[in-house]
Amino acid sequence: MPLEGHYERQTTPLYKLSPREIKAALATLVVTLVALLGVVIATAGDSSSPLAPGCFSASVAGIVGAQTVSACDAEAEARCAHAARFDDPRSRTIVAACEDRGIPTTGKPGSAKPSDPIQ
């Protein structure tokens, strides 16, 4: 059973902050919030430039994580044609990006030979 005054003694702070310490804590909090707001505003939005005609860009699964595959003009057509010969998720993603950008893909999915290298 708790003793008389036991709750008050347990919940009373040992030290009361001085007005100077409170002002210092508030100043630190304000500086931190302003810096955080500045970082959020500086990094907000889409900073990537639009793709040029005849170019494609696709994010595919790589060895360590997402990998961006991109190319333009003749190289884009060659990569799209190469990816169209395979029927795996990586190749389907590349072919979809090529089709979205209007880059021709030749070949049929799944018609790769076993000796063909993977992109």
- Return per-residue pLDDT of the chain as tens, 119 residues: 667 878 888 888 888 899 999 999 999 999 999 999 999 998 887 666 778 888 999 999 888 888 998 899 889 999 999 999 999 999 999 999 999 988 888 744 444 444 455 55
pLDDT of residue 22: 96
- And the tokens for 64? 């360590």
Q: Which residues of 58-74 are buried (b: 16+ CB within 10 A; e: fewer)?
A: bebeeeeeeeebebeee
- In degrees and rounded to multiples of 5, residue 83 shows phi and psi of -70, -30
Cα 95 vs. chain centroid, distance in angstroms? 22
Amino acid 13: pLDDT: 84
Residue 21 identity: E
pLDDT on residue 14: 86
- Give the tokens for residue 66: 């997402």
The pLDDT value recorded for residue 47 is: 67
H/E run at residue 66: strand 66-72
Q: Enter the pTM of the model.
A: 0.52
Domains of the chain by residue range: 55-101
For residues 55 and 70, is the Cβ–Cβ distance under 8 A?
A: yes
Residue 1 confidence (pLDDT): 63
What is the reported pLDDT for 2? Answer: 66
pLDDT at position 111 is 43
Burial of 109 (0-12, 13-18, 19+ CB in 10 A): middle
Q: ∠ CA 94-96-102 to the nearest 5 degrees?
A: 105
